[in-house]
Amino acid sequence: MSASEVSEREQRILGIIETARGKQAKFRDEQINMAHGAGGKATQSLIEGLLAPAFDNATLNEMGDAGSLNVNGVGLAMTTDSYVVKPLRFPGGSIGELAVNGTVNDLSVAGARPLALSLSLILEEGLSADELRGEVKAIAQAAAGAGVEIIAGDTKVVERGHADGMYICTTGIGARDPRAQLSPAGLRPGDRILLSGSIGEHGTAIMLARNEFELDAEIESDTRSLWPVADALLEAAGPSLRCMRDATRGGVASVLNELARSSSVAMIVREGDVPVRPEVAGAAEILGIDPMYVANEGKLVAFVGAGEADEALRALRSVPGCEQAAEIGEVRTEPPGMVLVQTSFGGRRVMDQLVGDPLPRIC
């Protein structure tokens, strides 16, 4: 068999696999395990195989970061998220800050200006009042920074051992921006893929803060509100902005895979153009983890028509904190649903979705 062409048999088998992959994910597990929470294929099977069919409706089925609804002719967007991070405080942020920014960002990438949040606190018996005060302050500051008000809330206390200090749920409401014509199914061949900055910082900061590796590096979480970023892109690209996603759990790789599937397109990513800070690259190298799969809390991926891509990138780079923004690849046609990587070394490979958490390699 030649290395540059593939035998007919292999081709046929690859075809069968693609058909199998294209089918809606089924939820067949007997119990929930940690992989279901990691944002990869197991999470997808839970959402597409159990939740979406149960609540079947047009808005939900779009699988956007926020659902949209019209109230008396006003377009609104709504989203919700829970935050269960350990440790509660980490370099560059804390659970409270995440709980505001994460929900604000889901609204922002759906093309909605964040207006207000609800806040639900689940507190563990024994949590120190000072720690709680610190988080309340962090929430207030992050909300002020993102221009949203906390307009409703709830508190519950659970027995010791039932929560890692505290869990937070926030629900956000935003006003759909008239400039936004975004859809996860709207990607077209030729579109450019833009990334708002360097990747992998949040996930790496958390891993190091847990002190499991005894690695020391100055890496801070990138948690921030993405509304100024989304705003700049909407202004620069208007209807040519096809879709945005914040690359949280599962990283940039998972976002690209989800959208390649929902738009039935292929993508090619130029590995060398993806900004990664040297500290993150170093930690990832040591742990045998690919930064493309590591969580971010303040980075978005945007798909822009080729004609407006340069303008959009310029606008992106002018947003404070997005100086590292880059065009990292483009949308193609074949094979649909697949993300390919042009490696810096000159080869090519597939970048698939992970099943669960990225597992450090042994040796």
Q: Which residues bind another protein (CB under 8 A)?
A: 1-6, 10-11, 13-14, 16-17, 20, 30-35, 41-42, 45, 189, 212-213, 266, 268, 278, 281-282, 285, 287, 332-335, 338, 340, 343-352, 355-356, 359-363
Nearer to another protein, 89 or 332 (CB): 332
The terminus-to-terminus CA distance of the chain in angstroms comes to: 31
Structure tokens that stand for 279 in this block: 């500290």
Nearer to another protein, 83 or 293 (CB): 293
Least Cβ distance, residue 262 to another protein (angstroms): 19
Structure tokens that stand for 338 in this block: 């697949």
Least Cβ distance, residue 260 to another protein (angstroms): 12
Which residues lie closer than 8 Å to 3 by C-beta, 6 or more apart? none
Least Cβ distance, residue 188 to another protein (angstroms): 13
Nearer to another protein, 160 or 361 (CB): 361
SS (H, E, C) 35-82: HHHCCCHHHHHHHHHHHHHHCCCHHHHCCCCCEEEEECCEEEEEEEEE
Nearer to another protein, 320 or 347 (CB): 347
Nearer to another protein, 178 or 347 (CB): 347
Please tell me the distance from the alpha carbon of residue 15 to that of residue 175, in angstroms, as a whole number: 43
Q: Rg for the chain (alpha carbons), in Å?
A: 20
Least Cβ distance, residue 89 to another protein (angstroms): 22
Residues 209 and 87: beta-carbon distance below 8 Å = yes
Nearer to another protein, 6 or 152 (CB): 6
Inter-CA distances, 311 with 232, 233, 234, 235, Å: 10, 9, 11, 10
Least Cβ distance, residue 279 to another protein (angstroms): 10
Nearer to another protein, 49 or 75 (CB): 49
Nearer to another protein, 236 or 328 (CB): 328
Long-range contacts of 137-144 (CB under 8 A, 24+ apart): 137/96, 138/93, 138/94, 138/96, 138/97, 139/96, 139/97, 139/99, 139/100, 139/168, 141/97, 142/96, 142/97, 142/99, 142/100, 142/101, 142/225, 143/100, 143/117
Least Cβ distance, residue 353 to another protein (angstroms): 9
Nearer to another protein, 196 or 353 (CB): 353
Least Cβ distance, residue 357 to another protein (angstroms): 8
Least Cβ distance, residue 59 to another protein (angstroms): 28
Least Cβ distance, residue 314 to another protein (angstroms): 28
Residue 119, beta-bridge partner list: 153, 170
Residue 158, beta-bridge partner list: 124
Which conformational region is residue 165 in: left (phi greater than 0), alpha (psi within -120 to 50 degrees), or beta? left
CA neighbor of 230 nearest in space, from 353, 118, 66? 66
Strand ranges across the sheet with 326-332: 241-246, 300-304, 192-195, 326-332, 266-270, 339-342, 348-350
3-state secondary structure at position 309: helix
